[in-house]
A and B are shown apart, each in its own frame.
Chain A
Amino acid sequence: MITLGDYLIVSGILFSIGFAGVMLRRNLIVILMSLELMLNAANLSLVAFSRFRVDPSGLPNYNAQVFVFFVITVAAAEVAVGLAILVALFRARETTDVKDISRLKF
């Protein structure tokens, strides 16, 4: 029998993997991908809670799924802006390594 805790544990491990990616990797593109992993881990726990809290009418709690919809929209916008900044940065500095981009102004 699969419980709510199983989904939460999968979500927690996925979040930690994304967090480790943000902490460990120096390539900006991989950091953005790890951010996506973290957002999706949060989405998984939201959907699991939505399925767990069944309304009196016997339907899942759709508020959480609407929230997931908003998270996915904002994440898509964030990726677009992040990658545009990355391209602008690459034009100026020819690098995507965070170690080479340590100054605010150049």
Chain B
Amino acid sequence: MSPFLFWPFALLTLIFGAAVVINRNPVASALSLVVSFLGLSALFMSLDAFFVGIIQVLVYAGAVMVLFLFIIMLLNLRAEVGRRINWLASAGGIAVAIALLVQIFLVIDRFQPAAKAFPLLSRSPIDDVRNIGALLFSNYNLPFQIVGVLVLVATIGVVLLSKRELR
């Protein structure tokens, strides 16, 4: 958790996250999102959450991004050109986002533990994945099965939505 690693990856995540919103070309947005998620996965690993960092790369940078790029190229979307910007609406959106950011900063500023460094970890006899897996199959067994049903429902829903005749 050295500052020399934290700040570069945090900046990478934030700059490419902003690039997702700023880019007018959807393909450029999707590729910026990949870089942003890779930086985020490095931040997860700096917090000793190796399992979460790995599934971040596998699920987001792997599966979700391929899905986004596939849909963008399937629909042959182009960069938005020639549509004028509604300045009033844009200013309103930016103002609301900045208000939210100020609010978050104020809350973190008041939050006492935020100024403390992270406590040291003792060396675990078993690794990260086994700890999470043990918890997932004991305490969180029912939510785990419900999530399985959710994924099944999503699969059936996607197949149904992709049918040519929606009736």
Contact = CB atoms under 8 A, between A and B. Distances in A.
A51 B108 contact: no
B51 A24 contact: no
A1 B51 contact: no
A17 to B, nearest CB: 5
B88 interface: no
B36 A37 contact: yes
Interface residues of B, number: 83
A3 B93 contact: no
Contact of A68 (B13, B52, B96, B120): B52
Contacts of A19: 96-97, 100
Interface in A17-56: 17-21, 23-27, 29-30, 32-34, 36-37, 40, 43-44, 47-48, 50-52, 54
A6 B122 contact: no
A85 B94 CA distance: 28
B135 A76 contact: no
Contacts of B108: 5, 8-9, 12
Contacts of B132: 62, 65-66, 69
Contact of B113 (A4, A30, A43): A4
A79 B155 CA distance: 11
Contacts of A13: 14, 101
**Number of chain A interface residues as a range:** 35 or more
Given A10-B43, A59-B122, A15 B104 contact: yes
A64 B77 CA distance: 38
Contacts of A80: 67, 154-155, 158
Closest 8 CB pairs between A and B? A58-B122, A5-B114, A23-B93, A12-B104, A20-B97, A77-B154, A21-B21, A84-B161
Given A20-B93, A32-B68, 8 more contacts: A16-B98, A16-B101, A24-B93, A40-B37, A44-B43, A47-B52, A81-B157, A86-B75
Interface of B: 1-3, 6, 10, 13-14, 17-18, 20-21, 26, 29-30, 33, 36-37, 40, 43-44, 47-49, 51-52, 55-56, 59-60, 63-64, 67-68, 71-72, 74-75, 77, 80, 83, 90, 92-94, 96-98, 100-101, 104-105, 108, 111, 113-124, 131-132, 135-136, 139-140, 143, 147, 150-151, 154-155, 157-158, 161-162, 164, 166
6 contacts: A2-B1, A5-B114, A51-B49, A66-B132, A73-B150, A88-B162
